Amino acid sequence: MKRREFIKVSSLLSTSAVVSPTLFMGGCTTQALPGTGVVSKTPTICDMCFWKCAGDVYKEDNELWKITGNADDLHSGGRLCTRGTGGPGAYLDPDRLKKPLMRVTKEDGQQTFVEVSWDEALGFISEKMQMIADTAGPEKMLMLNHGAGSSHFRHLMRAYGSNSHAEPAFAQCRGPRDVGFKLTLGESASSPERTDMANAKCIVLIGSHIGENLHNAQVQTLAEAINKDVTLITVDPRFSVPAGKSKHWLPIKPGTDLALLLAWMNVLITEDLCDTDYLDRHAIGFEQLAEHVREYTPEWVYLETGIRPEVIRETAREMAKAAPATIIHPGRHAVWYGDDTQRSRAIAMLNALLGSWNRKGGFYIPEKVDLPAFPLPDYPKTKYSTADAYPGKWPFASQGVTNGVIEASIGEDAFFKGWLVYGTNLPQTIPGVADQLKAAADSLDLVVVVETMPSEMAGYADVILPECTYLERYDELRNSGERHPSLALRMPAFKPKYESKPGWWIAKQLGNRLGLEKYFPWEDFSEKLDWQLKEVGSSLEEMQKIGVKNFPRKYALYFREGQSVRFGTPSRKIELYSQQLADKGFDPMPVYTPPDPVPNGYYRLNYGRMPAHTFGKTTNNPLLFQLAPENQLWVNPLVANEWSIENEEYVRLASPTGVISNKIRVRVTERIGPDSVFMAHGFGHKSKRLRLTAGVGADDSELMSNVKVDPIMGGTGMRGSFVTFVKMQARGDS
Ligand code: SF4
């Protein structure tokens, strides 16, 4: 029998219906409205995705009413998106985790979870963590995480002596983009992205589905730009939402984007359309680049991409005409074909040729509030870093690589001995990882999962700790680098439901049990926030009333004319030719490699987002479920005809490795080409306790095979997968 079997968290939990919220009025402001009850509002920061929009939770006569955007929040344009307004669903969801759960083995040998007290759960975890620290070293305890609430546990882990850490947001999302921009421009594209769309005259989106992925303020500024007649160029094999708003839609063959980027550089250079003054002052390697892209003529690239040479030339000229107010958007989910750092580098280089980096209408220079850290003792020095778990691999990975650390957790001699997993559902996040997760869970001495919901990842835990939702807790202040520096407050609008607890409380309790009290000197996390706020001329009391405080900028928003700039690269210049890459044996300039051909009878598996959901995190939210209960499979009419598939019919998909998906409803549409199918990510949950969404729709990540790992930074290229159809009748399905 496996040491740690996957357990469906359903087996233990109650099935209570939605109950009225127990309300908590501390810190909120109230006012009487004629003809209605007493209305109060409490500031929050939305946690339905990573964008961190500030909002207000409204209650009437102490009953939850609604969540709206905070009108003073420039970060969000004063509005919440669809998912943000569905935030109460996260709080009200009857499927939430309610009590700490611990894995036990029954008399018949079966494993299950039993409810335990917080004392028992925390005691067990701290004993195991102490044992790992004593026998293997604290660095052998790894944290895997996602979301703003992770900061409490990162602090705990650093105090404990471990800086071993990885998050899918790097190797399964924006890592190649961040590394590609840093290698070229010495800085990342930031989050939120530092694009100056409100002042742009030309915007180029390459596989970036703004409007389908609702990154709130970004969607608003793109809409403003479109209203101001920006030239929008969208490169996408699908006729996506932004493609429908574009002057030019370039329906590129999947996997050939880098060829197009190189051809655009070829046109800019051969037609003398680059910003030569900007390049002379700021860049090195222009001559090598000119020589390098000479072979990528529009005529040659047409054969790869399917984009006609005259369209390549015309769009390049449009970009140059609008420069420097031209943005080649860096995108966000950049892990496609395993050459993603180089493709992201090509995007950064193209922006450099147009002189748009840190120029008006291109990219701006983000600025944060200078917020002092709360005075605490230094963290202990660590003997190992995360990268020591996979020596010699991915030399430019600027963060821990999830796929690397999971592999380093398998086997008796594994590098890692314990995991603390916060807010990330690894089985749906990392492609084709099920077998590795099982093997790691068999090997590790401790797996702790901190979650609000009974995710699939919780099924691998020794102990599951129920965190309360963002509407029931304090977290760190929002202080993002952006156009307008600001601070925003998240505070509890409600008492934690059931026996759930705030992350800061859980981290402090574990810290106390591990003898780390000096790192947690506050009784309540609000004390720390108040101290920080007073250091910048505000206070918790003020922020509880206003929620968001805007600060004046101290530095220029763009480069000033003639300014001498030191970029964050080794040469202190924009590096069109990268000696750093060459020194490590990589191509110093991006080289195009054609994608693998589609096997007979198979289709490229293309995936993306839908506006109502943030990945699998929100699909069980009862409010958002009503808006979008399942994902659909886009199928070209020619393909549907060939397979005799009707619109709205359910099918299953099969990968070349034999994985068969859950059933998914077909949408026959010409908005996708005949070589691909498309679905939104985040469906096909297996945890039965997610009662609304379990078994609904298909999960793209389990179908992924042919994953190409980026040798530069370890990102898992997820667009090289193929699938074929399994007709329901063929399986005897209903
Ligand atoms: Fe919330 Fe939407 Fe903002 Fe994300 S973009 S933080 S879901 S309001």
**Pocket flag, ligand 1, residue 46 (CB < 6 Å):** yes
Distance (Å) from CA 167 to ligand 1 centroid: 20
- Ligand 1, residues 50, 51, 85: which to mutate, most atoms within 8 A of Cβ? 51
**Pocket flag, ligand 1, residue 215 (CB < 6 Å):** yes
Pick from 544, 529, 533: nearest CA to 493: 544
User: pLDDT at position 730, please?
Assistant: 56
User: pLDDT at position 563, please?
Assistant: 85
DSSP one-letter code for 174: I
**Pocket flag, ligand 1, residue 216 (CB < 6 Å):** yes
Distance (Å) from CA 288 to ligand 1 centroid: 43
Contact 477, 528 (CB under 8 A): no
DSSP 244-312: HT-SEEE-PPTT-HHHHHHHHHHHHHHTT-S-HHHHHHHEE-HHHHHHHHTT--HHHHHHHH---HHHH
Phi-psi region of 293 (alpha: psi -120 to 50; beta: other; left: phi over 0): alpha
Contact 12, 115 (CB under 8 A): yes
Closest ligand 1 atom to the C-alpha of 55?
8
**Pocket flag, ligand 1, residue 83 (CB < 6 Å):** yes
CA-to-CA distance for 355 and 368, rounded, in angstroms?
24
**Pocket flag, ligand 1, residue 214 (CB < 6 Å):** yes
User: pLDDT at position 26, please?
Assistant: 37
User: pLDDT at position 134, please?
Assistant: 98
Closest ligand 1 atom to the C-alpha of 80?
8
Closest ligand 1 atom to the C-alpha of 76?
3
User: pLDDT at position 197, please?
Assistant: 93
User: pLDDT at position 17, please?
Assistant: 32
Q: Which residues of the chain have pLDDT under 70?
A: 1-35, 211, 729-734
CA angle 535, 538, 542 (to 5 degrees): 145
Atom 1 (ligand 1): residue with closest C-alpha? 84
User: pLDDT at position 655, please?
Assistant: 95
Distance (Å) from CA 87 to ligand 1 centroid: 9
Cis previous bond, 324, omega within 30 = yes
Distance (Å) from CA 547 to ligand 1 centroid: 16
**Pocket flag, ligand 1, residue 612 (CB < 6 Å):** no
CA-atom Rg of the chain in angstroms: 26
Strand partners, 249: 234
> What would you measure as the largest C-alpha separation in the chain, in angstroms?
78
Closest ligand 1 atom to the C-alpha of 83?
7
Atom 3 (ligand 1): residue with closest C-alpha? 53
User: pLDDT at position 677, please?
Assistant: 96
**Pocket flag, ligand 1, residue 53 (CB < 6 Å):** yes
**Pocket flag, ligand 1, residue 48 (CB < 6 Å):** yes
User: pLDDT at position 614, please?
Assistant: 78
Q: Is the dihedral of CA 622, 623, 624, 626 positive or negative?
A: positive
List of residues 6+ apart from 280 with CB closer than 8 A: none
User: pLDDT at position 8, please?
Assistant: 54
| pLDDT tens-digit series, residues 444-486 | 999 999 999 999 999 999 999 999 999 999 999 999 999 999 9
Tell the burial category of 352 from Cβ atoms under 10 Å away from its Cβ (0-12, 13-18, 19+).
Answer: buried
Strand partners, 59: 40, 64
In the chain, % helix, strand, coil (3-state, to 5) comes to 30, 20, 50
**Pocket flag, ligand 1, residue 51 (CB < 6 Å):** yes
Distance (Å) from CA 370 to ligand 1 centroid: 25
